Structure 1
Amino acid sequence: MNWANWGAVAVLLCLAGCAGAPRQPAAPAAPDPDQARLEADFAQAVAAMKAGDRDTARAGFQRLLEAHPERTGPRANLAILAYEEGDAAAARAGFEAVLAQAPEHRVALNYLGILARERGDFEAAEAYYRRALAQAPDDPAALLNLAFLLDIYLGRPDQALPLYQRYQAATPTPDPRIDDWLFDVRNRQ
């Protein structure tokens, strides 16, 4: 064998050595107990919120927010609680803080749309709802809120009609009240 061939063999051996033995698949990661505790605490706070126990829910979300300020869920739920209690200023501040962390958070966008509509800023409300729908095109809440805004507040039933239809298609069980509303919108056109 001549020296040129030895050079080629040496390169191939080097490349084969670099490849090494086939790698074994990594063992599944052990469950993170901190993550499991976080999820359990969040689930408890959500359950309290659904049960109407606002004080327990608020305390749970507040503890989670203090321990994990990078998480948007506790902050968003605190803002929802503020909204449900009629504290629009606190709700708006909370949802804006969520958007500062996660600019396309669809729940915060939808609630900010509601708050904008309630204060008569229909242009901002429409923009918030459309941003929410850009994130989740079949989000029932954003579809229905935008449809109502366009139909009732902005007098654009022709633009609302397909949104009502998309809302009905996006819900597991179509709402008969929206069927009546669709009938009314079609009659007005």
Structure 2
Amino acid sequence: MNWDKNLGAALLLLLLLSGCALGPEGLDAPALKDSPEESEVHLQAVFAEAVVLMQNGDTGEAEARFEQMAAQYPHRPGPIANLGLLAFQAGDVELARNRFEQVLSVNPAHTVALNHLGVIARMTGDFPAAEQYYLKALATNPEYVPVILNLAFLLDIYLGEPAKALPLYEQYKALADDPDPRLKDWMFDAKNRI
């Protein structure tokens, strides 16, 4: 089994599945005359439009909208997290790291940012930091499927601890709506190395 190819493909899949920071998390209303409920609905719609642009590959326009929201509402982690995702997808790891750290300064329990900081730490060979980010992400959301699989890969492949990875593979299998078809191979290989 070619682990480098499979791991790379799996991580790319996880990054795509981890998606975006799904909501603006309380962006303030742009129009003071609107009621708070109307303003929140409006902002949710604006944020949702930017997310759709990002998902449809219109990254330039999505980035511009998230930049505007991040500048207007710097205390809201959603737009900043999505800017981090866009930077990561574009291969600008340093900008992505900065964005995700900015998110954590606003919300230290932001699961998506913690997961991606773990991925970045793993990519740069800082496996202890990657493990800490993943564990913090799991502490904030124990059922966040991308971080479960990322931690399993880290333990299994990079840290050589398949016995610790196997329960995570099982947890991923139980929680994932559509588990990666290679999961059986990963689990089989981990069992053989225990």
Query: Residue 165 of structure 1: which of 140, 154, 170 is its match?
Result: 170
> Stretches of 4+ moved more than 3 A in 1?
none
| Percent identical residues | 51
* In 1, Cα distance between equivalents of 2:192 and 2:126: 28
Q: Residue 84 of structure 2 corresponds to which residue in structure 1?
A: 79
TM-score norm. by structure 1 comes to 0.82
Q: Residue 37 of structure 2 corresponds to which residue in structure 1?
A: 32
Q: Residue 88 of structure 1 corresponds to which residue in structure 2?
A: 93
Q: Residue 181 of structure 1 corresponds to which residue in structure 2?
A: 186
The amino acid that maps onto 2:90 is: E
Bigger-Rg structure (1/2): 1
* In 2, Cα distance between equivalents of 1:187 and 1:156: 12
Checking the alignment, whether the CA contact within 8 Å between 1:49 and 1:57 is kept in structure 2 is yes
Give 5+ residue unaligned stretches, structure 2.
Answer: 1-34
Q: Residue 24 of structure 2 corresponds to which residue in structure 1?
A: none
Deviations 1:123-174 (A, max 9, x none): 0000000000001111111100000000000000000000011011111123
> Is 1:113 aligned to residue 135 of structure 2?
no
> Is 1:138 aligned to residue 159 of structure 2?
no
Query: Residue 41 of structure 1: which of 33, 46, 61 is its match?
Result: 46
TM-score norm. by structure 2 comes to 0.80
Checking the alignment, whether the CA contact within 8 Å between 1:38 and 1:64 is kept in structure 2 is no
Deviations 1:16-62 (A, max 9, x none): xxxxxxxxxxxxxx662221111111000100110011001101111
Query: Residue 133 of structure 2: which of 123, 128, 131 is its match?
Result: 128
Q: Residue 14 of structure 1 corresponds to which residue in structure 2?
A: none
Give 5+ residue unaligned stretches, structure 1.
Answer: 1-29
Q: Residue 29 of structure 2 corresponds to which residue in structure 1?
A: none
Structure showing greater relative contact order (alpha-carbon pairs closer than 8 Å, 6 or more residues apart): 2
The amino acid that maps onto 1:90 is: L
* In 1, Cα distance between equivalents of 2:180 and 2:101: 31
Aligned-residue offset at 1:67: 1.9
